[in-house]
Homo-oligomer: A and B are copies of this chain.
Amino acid sequence: MKTVNIVLMGFGNVGRAFTRIVRDKQSLYRKRYGINVQMKSIFEQGGALFISQSSVLDAILEKKGPQLAESGHWKSGVKLEEMLKSGEPGVLVECTPSNLETGEPGLTHIMNALDSGWHVVTANKGPLVVDFRRLFRKAMKKGLAIGFSGATAAALPALDIGLHALAGTEIQGIEGILNGTSNYILTRMTEGLKYPEALREAKDKGIAESDPSLDVDGWDTAAKLLLISNATAGTEFILSDIRVEGIKNLALDFVRREKNSPRVLKLLGRLRKKEGQYMAEVVLDFLAPDHPLFGVNGANKGITFMTDTMGSVTVTGGKSDPRGAGAALIKDIINIHRQKP
Q: Which of B145, B156, B294, B336 contacts A295 (CB 8 A)?
A: B294
How many copies make up the complex?
A: 2
Q: A309 to chain B: which residues have CB within 8 Å?
A: 21, 25, 155, 319, 323-324, 326-327, 330
- CB <8 Å contact, A29 and B168: yes
- CB <8 Å contact, B327 and A318: no
Residue A274, interface by CB 8 Å: no
Smallest beta-carbon distance A333→chain B, Å: 8
- CB <8 Å contact, A168 and B334: yes
- Number of interface residues, chain A, beta carbon within 8 A: 54
Residue A105, interface by CB 8 Å: no
- CB <8 Å contact, A295 and B304: no
Residue A276, interface by CB 8 Å: no
Q: A326 to chain B: which residues have CB within 8 Å?
A: 309
Task: Give A contacts to B, CB under 8 Å.
Answer: 21, 25, 28-29, 33, 119, 139, 143-146, 155-157, 160-161, 164-170, 289-290, 292, 294-295, 297, 304, 309-319, 323-324, 326-328, 330-331, 334-336, 338, 340-341
Not counting A145-B341, A167-B338, A311-B318, a sample of 7 additional A-B residue pairs whose C-beta atoms are within 8 angstroms of each other reads A28-B170, A157-B165, A160-B165, A161-B315, A169-B327, A169-B331, A309-B319
